[in-house]
Amino acid sequence: MLAGDLYLADDPELEADALRAAELGERYNASSVTDLPARRALLRELLGEVGEDVVVRPPLSVDYGQYISIGARTFVNCGAVMLDVAPIRIGQDVQIGPNVQLLTPTHPLDPEPRRAKWEAARPVTIGDNVWLGGGVIVCPGVTIGANTVVGAGAVVTRDLPPDVVAVGSPARVVRRLDTADVP
């Protein structure tokens, strides 16, 4: 699964991992905003790696959680969907708008293996200091370079280089950021 090979999602071991994530996610999403230590502890238990001063506003949806790493000082707004069948790596100082989807699962184009419930996955990597606007969808196998800004509602189907602004569906680069634009 993590290597990108075909797998069956209803494998008992995978189902147990997904159930663990669903239970922890349910607890995290119901956690009190006034009890930040408990909320942070749940997030650290749910996800594979969480840097210092990370904020993830509920609700958060994951497949397994354990394959997600989030760098220090990153902010994830409400409604994030992170399907981590393959690793999802989010850098430091990233800003993720509401209802963003980071998707690693893929399915065969051939109807027979798809009907038989075979799936695969490819990792998603978000570089440091990236800003993903509200409703952005990042497709399997995509890497977004450092400092890049992706406009609201964009669908990112291919890698984006560092230091650009990208918009649309599919996302396309509309301009480069110069050093004056990057903190």
Active site residues: 107
- Identify whether the C-beta of residue 69 lies closer than 8 Å to the C-beta of residue 87: yes
The residue whose two tokens read 């994030």 is 80
Cis-peptide into 113, omega within 30 deg? no
* Type of residue found at 155: V
- Identify whether the C-beta of residue 155 lies closer than 8 Å to the C-beta of residue 137: yes
Identify each DSSP E strand in the chain by its residue range: 7-8, 49-50, 55-56, 60-62, 68-70, 75-76, 80-83, 88-90, 95-96, 101-103, 105-106, 118-121, 124-126, 131-132, 137-138, 143-144, 149-150, 155-156, 164-167, 172-176
Q: How far apart are CA 159 and CA 124, in angstroms?
A: 10
